[in-house]
Amino acid sequence: MPYRYVKKYPKPIRHHRQIRISKFLSLFFVFLGTGLILSALFPILSYQFFVSPQVTGLLNPAVSSIVLGQSSTLDTTQISNWFVNAPKLPPLPSKITHYSLSIPKLKIDQAVVKIGGSDLKKSLIHYQGTAFPGQLGTTVIFGHSSLPQLFMSQNYLTIFTYLPKMTKGDEILIEFDSILYKYLVEEVTEVTPDDVSIMEQRYDDSYLALVTCVPPGTTINRLVVRAKITKI
């Protein structure tokens, strides 16, 4: 009886090493995604639990969908979007258009402040109509902030990220019209976006108010660092 032989090809077998690599990559991307989420949430939660209770003023945890500084309608790089009812103050006469601000504690060195500007991507903004440095009244300066892991002291989109770390007695230096002024922090407060009391002017001395958004990476509330001029 004749016999016929047919060659049987073995079924493909995945190498154990390939299987281990696939599992490793899967776990790596899971942990990476989890880590990125936690790194974004941690500074927000730590601010709310550890920093916010220490600042004065009314903290209204206003319901807001604005998270991580993103919103489909609100562009926080434009100063006009920061306070809902901000007054339109008449500009004060001056030939000076820019000056510099330094905060040694935050490693901010001679940051540009534009008087009456609007674009926080390019500089800090001196709110038009508020007092000039060294004069009686309150100088109000706005600056952008972000998540701490994005901070760069020379980047105006992140420059005020660590402003919540300021405490009473910290120095703020301003060079205006070739004159150096020193301010000492008196208090750190937090207000809601509809509270425009920070624009109010006190004429018994020279004051300074630095403003940014908090918690870090969000636009829920406004942090205000208030300082008073002192002798150098």
* Residue 22 confidence (pLDDT) above 50: yes
Greater confidence (170 vs 13) lies with: 170
**Residue 106 belongs to some domain of the structure:** yes
Report pLDDT digits (tens) over 63-107.
343 434 344 456 778 887 887 777 788 888 889 999 999 999 999
* Helix, strand and coil percent figures for the chain, each rounded to 5: 25, 30, 50
* Residue 17 confidence (pLDDT) above 70: no
Q: Radius of gyration over alpha carbons of the chain, in Å?
A: 26
Residue 24 — pLDDT band, cuts 50, 70, 90?
low
Task: Please give the single-letter amino acid code of residue 122.
Answer: K
Report the number of distinct structural domains present in the chain: 1
* Residue 23 confidence (pLDDT) above 90: no
**Residue 101 belongs to some domain of the structure:** yes
SS3 104: helix
* Residue 13 confidence (pLDDT) above 80: no
Q: Give the whole-angstrom CA distance, residue 188 versus residue 212.
A: 11
**Residue 71 belongs to some domain of the structure:** yes
Percentage of residues in the chain having pLDDT higher than 70: 68
Provide the 10 A C-beta neighbour count for residue 215. 22
Range(s) of the domain holding residue 166: 49-230
**Residue 21 belongs to some domain of the structure:** no
Q: Which residue has tokens 């504690």?
A: 105
Looking at residue 218, its pLDDT comes to 85
Cβ contacts of 182 within 8 Å, gap of 6 or more:
171, 172, 173, 174, 229, 230, 231, 232
Task: Please give the single-letter amino acid code of residue 82.
Answer: W
Looking at residue 87, its pLDDT comes to 79
**Residue 130 belongs to some domain of the structure:** yes
pTM, 2 dp = 0.75
SS3 169: coil
Q: Give the whole-angstrom CA distance, residue 4 versus residue 212.
A: 86
Average pLDDT over residues 151-158: 88
Report pLDDT digits (tens) over 206-228.
999 999 999 888 888 999 999 99
Domain with residue 216: its CATH number is: 2.40.260.10
**Residue 30 belongs to some domain of the structure:** no
Token pair listed for 41 = 């949430």
Q: Give the whole-angstrom CA distance, residue 75 versus residue 78.
A: 6
On average, the pLDDT of the chain sits at 80
Looking at residue 177, its pLDDT comes to 95
**Residue 188 belongs to some domain of the structure:** yes
Q: Give the whole-angstrom CA distance, residue 152 versus residue 171.
A: 20
**What's the length of the chain?**
232
Report pLDDT digits (tens) over 28-46.
555 555 554 555 555 555 5
